[in-house]
Amino acid sequence: MDIQLIQSLVEAWGPPGREGRIRAVIEQHLAGLVDETRTDRMGNLIALKRATVKLPAGAPPLRVMLSAHMDEIGFVVSHIEEKGFVRFAAVGGLRPLSLLGNRVVFENGAIGTIQVEKGILAADSLPKMTDLFIDVGATDAASAPVKVGDMGALAGTLAQQGDRLIAKSMDDRIGCAVVIQALRRLKRTPHDIYAVFSVQEEVGLRGARTSAYAINPDIGIAVDVTLTGDFPEAVPMSVALGKGAAIKVQDSSVIADPRLRALMVARAKEARIPYQLEVLTAGGTDTAAIQMAHEGVPAGCISIPTRYVHSISEMVDVKDVQACVDLLAAILSKPIDLQD
């Protein structure tokens, strides 16, 4: 497992609509792994690895689209008060309780800390987003190092504790790492593989939607995080850290193609890759956008079990990450025949 790769991805800055820095990092890691890369008008990074194995009877290679989103949850400055305190709006799924006391880094490098109005805590009430502000150390509005419209993201570094990795933006930089490492493993493939590192997933699967229309794939596989049910008072769920790759059955946005799901399970069994089935009752991934492109695309998802999603301390297990890499490589290295 390439921990340095993961670190370079999770520590990069890139909220929705501002993915330029993380895109540059990913493009560096793709050097020598693919035949071509391009950035489309939405900002998606699309890497093509052409088929190297001919199919029987001269059949054309399948166009297989992979999608892992490179944006992270973020903030946008909505107002600066007279005393220099910054009000903000969420860009993606932020939760007030997970934000208190965290640091924010803006695109220009300015740092702030997220705090809450005193009266809210005094009333012993749960804060709302409108109760929070960012203190950037300014003495007044004129001295604030940011302006309305500036974007920010959580500031944090990768930590490793045994097999567990903790960082901000595992969602979905760990999915990007899985795709990159699978491409490293893939010496021969019968497919034309379009690896998409998509933009603006956190605000509505936007990058995957446009790239799926452009690629018009025969098969789509998203790689993203999923929740777990293995910590105190968690919502009951049959996904846990350390038990392998999660193969999606459904979430609130998609029902995975049952033929592709069956193929994933078969490949996992053949290669003795640990896996678990995922039924997510809330949330969604790029799978849904791919599935609904053109006349419809058979689509599924390989999910990395992750605790504390959409926080500064998202946690994964390296054994699960490796299982996801192994499973994706196993799927892409052989012909894909979806049996009804």
As a whole number, mean pLDDT of residues 247-254 equals 95
Taking residue 291's Cβ as centre, other Cβ atoms within 10 Å add up to 22
As a whole number, mean pLDDT of residues 122-147 equals 89
Residue 200: its pLDDT value, please? 96
As a whole number, mean pLDDT of residues 192-214 equals 96
Domains and CATH numbers, the chain: 3-72+168-332 (3.40.630.10), 74-154 (2.40.30.40)
Give the pairing of strands 314-317 and 164-167: antiparallel
Q: Which of 201, 202, 278, 314 is catalytic?
A: 201
Lowest mean pLDDT among 17-21, 95-99, 141-145: 95-99
SS (H, E, C) 25-92: HHHHHHCCCCCEEEECCCCCEEEEECCCCCCHHHCCCCEEEEEEECCCCEEEEEEECCCCCEEEEEEC
Work out the pLDDT band at 123, boundaries 50, 70, 90.
low
Structure tokens at 14: 């890139």
Question: Taking all residues of the chain, what is their mean pLDDT, rounded to a whole number?
Answer: 94
Look up the pTM and report it.
0.94
C-alpha–C-alpha distance, residues 210 and 259, integer Å: 25
Q: Is 125 exposed, middle or buried (0-12, 13-18, 19+ CB in 10 A)?
A: exposed
CB 47 within 8 A of CB 72: no
Residue 121: its pLDDT value, please? 63
Residue 120: its pLDDT value, please? 65
Place of tokens 């001269």: 58
Answer yes or no: 278 catalytic: no
Work out the pLDDT band at 58, boundaries 50, 70, 90.
confident
As a whole number, mean pLDDT of residues 146-164 equals 97
As a whole number, mean pLDDT of residues 51-56 equals 86
Q: What are phi and psi of 57, to 5 degrees?
A: 60, 25
In 189-272, at which residue ranges do the beta strands (DSSP E only) sit? 192-198, 219-226, 245-250
pLDDT higher than threshold 70 for residue 105: yes
